[in-house]
Amino acid sequence: MPKAKSETATKRVRKEKAEKKPRAKKDPNKPKRPMTAFFIFSGEFRDQVKAQNPGATVGTVAKILGERWRNMGEAEKAPYAIKVEQDKKRYETELAIYEANKSADAAAAEEAEEEDE
């Protein structure tokens, strides 16, 4: 919270903080976004890094994975890029289905409201 120099400024800062809008609730049915190449890589090698470094913290494991990723060449990263493209296609397909169902549900709800009137 920013520091205020006067009492009125303090009140204004408090008021601004109090007026924050609540976050919109996430729809649990919405498909998960596609993973990045690094996240796919991390998922595959995290257990291996943990086994090689027992007792390592989550942050340490992440640093090791990040270092490995940075040291990899483009040829070594290529399989992960292919997996990213596959995951993007999956996401686009699932999102299209989700949007179609969402608009169909909205239309059905609108028809139900009209019938009630």
The token pair at 80 is 């992960």
The answer to whether the CB of 8 falls within 8 A of the CB of 60 is: no
**Where are the domains positioned within the chain?**
32-106
Q: Which residue has the higher pLDDT, 115 or 24?
A: 24
What fold does the segment set 32-106 form as a domain? DNA Binding (I), subunit A (1.10.30)
Q: What local confidence, expressed as pLDDT, does residue 115 receive?
A: 65
Q: Which residue has the higher pLDDT, 65 or 14?
A: 65
Q: Predicted confidence band at 87 (pLDDT cuts at 50, 70, 90)?
A: very high
Q: Predicted confidence band at 33 (pLDDT cuts at 50, 70, 90)?
A: very high
Q: What local confidence, expressed as pLDDT, does residue 102 receive?
A: 85
Q: What local confidence, expressed as pLDDT, does residue 9 receive?
A: 66
pTM over 0.85: no
